């Protein structure tokens, strides 16, 4: 994991980069979030940043107490986004990472929110860059940490019920930076995740950026190297409910 200071710096950098790209892509299709266009993705990010600002600022522990915000006029979306990003960073910076707050995962603290916001903003910044015609990889160290978050949070907390238990073990291996994980099924919908070099029923290999984008279904599995059971790899890549 990175430090709190590093995550907050990433949130600032990627949040600003998102705004710069989405400005030129308000009516462009967001291929990874169809049928959204840029304005839809911008509103989504306003809502995401607002929701976690509200949760942390109010020390919310019961999601039923959440108060959603209203959607601004289209002409005000970008201004509202930038103001919301500033407020999110201010609130996250002024609260201790160990302070408790509600999250939809097992960990209930501000540190979880800080890490989640850095990674969600970075992936959606990539979406915005693509919509603006500026494809780029995600920083390798950031992407490796994003994979770690994905396998420990999304794989365990956000699975599609129709996929059922994972049908085999999966080894994920970054080829450009440190990062290896083994995901082993338990016979239920749960899995055991360890950070290690070990043989699985399949191995999924690639650069950290490509692996992260593949896990978030931004690029096809064919962009990655799969060794062993292609069926297990495909089920693993498809069983997480994400966008």
pLDDT in tens, 12-56: 999 999 999 999 999 999 998 999 999 999 999 999 999 999 999
Q: CA of 186: how far to CAs of 85, 166, 169, in Å?
A: 40, 8, 10
- All residue ranges of the chain with pLDDT < 50 are none
Positions of CATH 1.20.120.450 in the chain: 4-131
What was the pLDDT predicted at 239?
81
pLDDT at site 223 = 95
pLDDT value of residue 243: 55
Q: Which fold has domain 140-238?
A: Nonspecific Lipid-transfer Protein; Chain A (3.30.1050)
In CATH terms, the superfamily for domain 4-131 is dinb family like domain (1.20.120.450)
Output the pTM of the full model.
0.94
What is the separation of C-alpha 93 from the centre of its chain, rounded to a whole number of angstroms?
A: 20
What CA dihedral angle connects 8, 107, 206 and 163, to 10 degrees? Answer: -140
- The per-residue pLDDT for 190 is 83
Instruction: Please tell me the distance from the alpha carbon of residue 139 to that of residue 187, in angstroms, as a whole number.
Output: 35
Q: What is the pLDDT of residue 106?
A: 82
Rounded to 10 deg, the angle between the 38-57 and 4-22 helix axes is: 150
CA–CA separation, 121 and 78 (whole Å): 15
Percent of the chain's residues with pLDDT above 90:
85
């Amino acid at each position: 994991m990175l430090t709190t200071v590093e995550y907050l710096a990433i949130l600032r950098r990627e949040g600003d980069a998102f705004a710069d790209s989405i400005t030129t892509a308000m009516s462009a299709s967001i291929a990874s979030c169809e049928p959204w266009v840029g304005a839809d993705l911008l509103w989504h990010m306003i809502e995401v940043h607002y929701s976690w600002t509200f949760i942390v600022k109010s020390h919310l522990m019961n999601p039923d107490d959440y108060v959603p915000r209203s959607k601004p006029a289209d002409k005000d979306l970008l201004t509202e986004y930038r103001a919301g990003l500033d407020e999110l960073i201010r609130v996250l910076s002024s609260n201790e990472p160990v302070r408790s707050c509600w999250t939809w995962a097992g960990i209930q603290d501000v540190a979880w929110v800080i890490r989640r916001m850095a990674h969600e903003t970075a992936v959606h910044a990539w979406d915005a860059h693509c919509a603006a015609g500026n494809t780029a990889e995600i920083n390798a160290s950031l992407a490796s940490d994003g994979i770690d978050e994905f396998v420990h949070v999304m794989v365990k907390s956000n699975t599609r019920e129709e996929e059922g238990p994972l049908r085999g073990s999966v080894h994920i291996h970054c080829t450009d930076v440190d990062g290896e994980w083994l995901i082993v099924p338990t016979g239920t919908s749960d899995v055991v995740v360890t950070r290690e070099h070990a043989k699985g029923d399949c191995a999924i290999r690639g650069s950290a950026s490509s692996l992260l984008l593949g896990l978030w279904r931004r690029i096809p599995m064919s962009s990655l190297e799969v060794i062993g059971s292609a069926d297990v790899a495909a089920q693993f890549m498809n069983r997480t409910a994400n966008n």
